[in-house]
Amino acid sequence: MEELNDEKFIVAFGKQLRNLRMQNKLSQEDLANDAEIPINQVGRIERAEIKTSLSTIYRLSNALKVKPKELFDFEE
């Protein structure tokens, strides 16, 4: 299995977050409000513009009603 480099990992994480958000029929604003994070942060994570913290990952997973590990369930 080929290892993901840092940039590819961040892009894949953002895509996974977007997929889970869309599956839950949430807008970026709804997810941000539910996770109690700034509204623009969801979009920046999904577009791989920023690296996010464990605290934010925890908040996002709670808002999406998934275990944090599901945010990392992706391949390159």
* 65 phi-psi bin (left φ>0, alpha ψ -120 to 50, beta other): left
pLDDT digits (tens, 9 = 90+) for 23-46: 999 999 999 999 999 999 999 999
Q: How confident is the model at residue 5, as a pLDDT? A: 80
Domain ranges in the chain are 6-67
Question: Does residue 2 carry a pLDDT above 60?
Answer: no
- What whole-number distance in Å separates Cα of residue 3 and Cα of residue 75? 10
Q: How many other C-beta atoms lie within 10 A of the C-beta of residue 13?
A: 20
Instruction: Please check whether the domain covering 6-67 is classified as CATH 1.10.260.40.
Output: yes
Contact 20, 71 (CB under 8 A): yes
- For the full predicted model, state whether its pTM sits above 0.85: yes
Question: In the Cβ-directed half-sphere of 41, how many Cα atoms lie within 13 Å?
Answer: 17
Q: How confident is the model at residue 1, as a pLDDT? A: 42
